[in-house]
Structure 1
Amino acid sequence: MEKRYKNMARMTEHHQALLQQEIEYAYYRKNMTLEQSDWSDGMYCIYGVNQEIENPTFAAELKKVHPDDRSLLIDAYKNALSGHQFDIHYRIIKNDKELKVRNLATCVQESDGFCLYGCVIVEKVSAQNRVEKTAQAQQDAVTAVVENLSEPIIGINKKGAIKFFNRAAEKCFGYKRQQILNKNISLLMPDELAHHHNEFIARYLETGHTYVVNNERELTAVRKNGESFVMRLSVSVMPGIAQANEDEIAFVGLIQDLTHHKVAESLMHKTTRLDVLSHLSGGIAHDVNNILNIISGHLEILQMQKVDDSAVLKRVTAALKGVERGRQLSNRLSRLSRVDEQDAEPCNLSLLIKDNEDLLSEIFDKSIDLSVDLQSDLRWIEIDPNHFIDTLINLCINANDAMPDGGQLIIRACNQFLDADAVYATGLMPGEHVELTIKDSGIGITPEIQQRIFEPFYTTKGKDKGTGLGLSLAYNFIKDSRGHISVESEVGQGSCFTIYFPAIEEFSHPRNYNSTKVVDMDFEQSLRGKKILVVDDEQPILQLLSEFLKIYGLEVETANSGDQGLDLVKQEEFDLILSDLVMPGRLDGAQFAGEVLKSRPQSSIIFMSGYTDNRLSDNSELANIPIIHKPFRKKELLTQMQKMLH
């Protein structure tokens, strides 16, 4: 008997009593509205269903019932939808033998539909004993079902005294059963509700009407520790309430703690706002980078033409520095869009942080003590290292600003296993993670500001000290890296940002990045006579690149769309194709390149883009085509051309 029940999730005193009586017992929950079922291990055992193969469906259950008894079970379930309880006996076929079982259940109206809670008991006792034990078995079974529900259930008498408090209610409110029984239910309510609760009960007993009973409502409740939380409450009235005495339950409340739902809802709204901003910012960055590319290109041509005029060169150099500042701002804006998965690679945070520790130390005032604690055997993760360093720098700058009179900052990284409970409200998957914490001893953050700190453009700094993009950039990068960031802070006690990244099991060596080589004069001479096709929907960029490349003796053809470029490729052969990546029309840059490679697989192509949009992440055929990001300098373009042509 002990071996038979070893897989049961929880064993109550009622279960123990049933086992001693040699009764096989199992329980289930059926959502009649959604047609979903949850079975205990015992249900699979009683019906002889392999839980590794079959789902706990009504069809699987009905298939095991004796053909002559199937209509009895079907009718019982139909009646349950009308709110009726049932207690039926029927036969099942198991291992070619008949087995008599008893099925008793009650239907409860919940937030997601009508739910049937029931027990199945194998009848092994004599008919005489069955009659004698029916009442007690039914009471024990129903009590066991309610006791093991995941939702808090509370029963009170006509005076509001608590007479029933299941395990889920204990966990939700923080009270042990012996602490709360016979106390008034108003103990679990905020003052504004507690003062009126007895009036609600009295009104119902006198008139039979109240907006509390038989209505599902969201209310505020109070835990033992004084914490308030939002719950969804549904109250039902027990039959025969008029004759019920003080020891009997008159009202039953079914409760759903909405704390995690509210957190998830808040995260969903925040994510939606960021997604909208991502698309908007990506488009803006693309257009701005195209404009900057036109400006920088003409400045560089002017720089080449006025090489002997120091006054002109000085102004050109100053203008190019301005373009570079604009490019950096545009890049920050583009990072609000989704992270390009092609930039992610296996990284070790200990190595990354150590390599940049000198840079981090320069951020802080001398009055701030920086402490770095990195686990030596830290697991590897897959992220974009450049985005990570940007995120870390942003968090350190914020910490520095939070400690105007000095203090301590601790950066710590360690391995951390997160179980199902730990990741309930984060959206992470249970398993091995790397935990990074940035903790300061600064002024702290109020709860109101904590709710908004990851919103884009939200800042508490002066207009000359911040854009409000730092933390939203961090949030978006971490989210797109399948990680999670949270903050804990208390005014006057400092703040602690905690970041989780999922660990990876296996990885290839990080890609090697070739350093930019200076273009030599021999190469510039070798460009002469090469045939280049430039494809871009921006006419000023076509004119600029055509003029610039012709200076080096290149033959240049231009096309203002993917279709026009494809027509030229079919008619002529080109040594190299420069194509914008994001273009309107039937063929964007990626589609244009794909069509070119179909007809001319050996073609050399370079993408140009102010915003990649992740459109290459799922296209392995184009994965090795290099990208130069607008606005680019002539050295970047010529260096990449050198790699492709030689």
Structure 2
Amino acid sequence: MSTEAILGNHRALTLDVLNYLDQGISVFDEDLRLLAWNRRLFDLLQLPEAFAQTGLSIEVFFRFNAERGEYGEGDIDAIVAERMRLARSFAPHVFDRVRPDGTVIEVRGNPLPNNSGFVTTYTDVTQQRVVELELERRVEQRTEEYRLESEAHRKTAEALRKSELWIRQIADAVPALIAYVDKNNHYQFINHMHQEWFGLNRSQLIGTSIFDLVENRNLEQFHKDIDAVQQGQEVQTEYVIGRKGRSPLDVSISFIPHFDEQEQMLGYFFLGQDLTEYKQTQRELIESQKMQALGRLTGGMAHDFNNLLTVILGNLNFLEEDEDLDLAEMREAVQCSLQAAQRGSELIQRMLTFSRRQALKPTATNVGELVDDFSVLLQRTLGETIHLQKQLAEHLAPVLVDKNQLETSLLNLALNARDSMPRGGRLIIRTELYRKPANANTFTDLPAGEYLMLSVRDEGEGMSPETISRAFEPFYTTKPAGLGTGLGLSMVYGFVKQSGGGIDIHSKLGEGTTIRLIFPVVDETPTQQQRRLLRLSQDGRQAQVLLVEDDVGVRQFVQRALQKMGYSVDLAENGDFAWEKLLHNRHYALVLTDIIMPGSISGLELYSRIRQDYPETKVLCMTGYSEQVESTLSEQHLLRKPFMRNQLAHKLQELLKAEHA
């Protein structure tokens, strides 16, 4: 093949790659005549197909835009003349053009070397501008930093030549990662964004395996994606990429297979875009909405806590003042107080779980039990005009989900349903088994199999087809200004998809709305998990325990409980006294410590010292507020207050058995 033919193939291949980008690109020569373009340019600017011809003067584009009002009002010839004067200056520029339909296009142009032409990129930044306006009051400084960083990272094309240098300059000018990898997974071409992402240049990467850059945490998913593209599928995935000495990146990666004329696999294109700022903005808005929902829940809970305190104080008052109570009546009063206190503990734990920021690990969850428990909070939040009904199927298999996010999603759906019924009505939450056939018309992106379906149905105003089609878009809302962020359903959609499930909407105007969520089922039930843990032996008993607690009442209760279980107990009222005892007694089997205590040594500091200096001594930490410590402690080493004696016994047995095994 001749050199000219090879270069021609390279140019054609490069232009094909540009068609996969989300930006419009145009290249004009020194006479301002069209040299190259991509499909996105014509779609984004709604240009006639007749304009897609090499050699067409830029004046034709200017006049077409001026006549349809793209440049505002004024004399058409004067507007075109001014545009031509600016174009002939070959000056770099960047500005936002607001089209008549409201679309905001970022136009960014740079001259080629020696003013031999001009490269311009066109980016639809409408949604980005909406996000910036939404957050302007709260994150002005971050918005400015993001703008400056985007300016530094987005480079426009620098040259257009009939050579490999011409191809490379175009690729380097695109604000995205571009690479070509052969069928053996070795790099054959990369652009400069690899230097930005990975800190490696072309000479370090060309010929090496693409797997050399993949972290262990991403390796399994990356193998799946490469296997799929090797089979001829286009794949798009999101990853978090760690960078030595710098913050990690949230990125979107696309793999596009490349075939020859005989449909033989030659390799694949590797395209990446940085989503870090977008993800951060999305997380902040979701957290803001969750805090608004939490405020709604708190008001309803105040009534519940007053009722619980009435039960506890009333029964304790009976025990204190009524000397004629017999043993059975005393036991009944104590039992009622214990049950009320336990309900209060469960409400506190549920609120802490709902409000915590960090991502929680998915666990095998009985959705029916979760709905049944969470409905207590829901009913308080929904108000008296909403009648909450539960239709929960029995003996359903569990699903692997994040309980906190499932509760948050259920709350969002319930609040949307309530808002659609201003005069009140029924809200029905239903669970059932859903068997998806291979040829189903719904949830088409999921494989056939058994799923658990959770649906929320209301008798509200319903949705139009247009509203349904946009319901999952971020920031889309039909509520009046100030009454909704438009993130509720988009957050639910993201959670369901991340959990491997599906979601759809059935609604008609005036006939209410049903939103269905499905999740793949798992084998082990929560009850089976609990039974497996309860089979731990009692071998830890008779061990010597150091109890560290500054609150006298709590210390007395836990000491009595430990002694009743058969443990030998030493006491310390804070971390400093506990450390002194440890220095003189290295034979404690376990240290049970509070976390927040007076003195120079906190519970967490004591935990770290013991783990380092006395690795044979086990540590269990008690706390009434776990959000600040769960990143440091595993669940195995954490006991949440308030707790019952049987919960303490089980935690000690589990810890001593697991770490003696």
- The TM-score, its normalising length taken from structure 1, stands at 0.46
What's the TM-score, normalizing by structure 2?
A: 0.45
**Which of 1 and 2 has greater Rg?**
1
Does 1 or 2 have the higher relative contact order (CA < 8 Å, sep 6+)? 1
Determine which structure has the larger helix proportion and give its number: 2
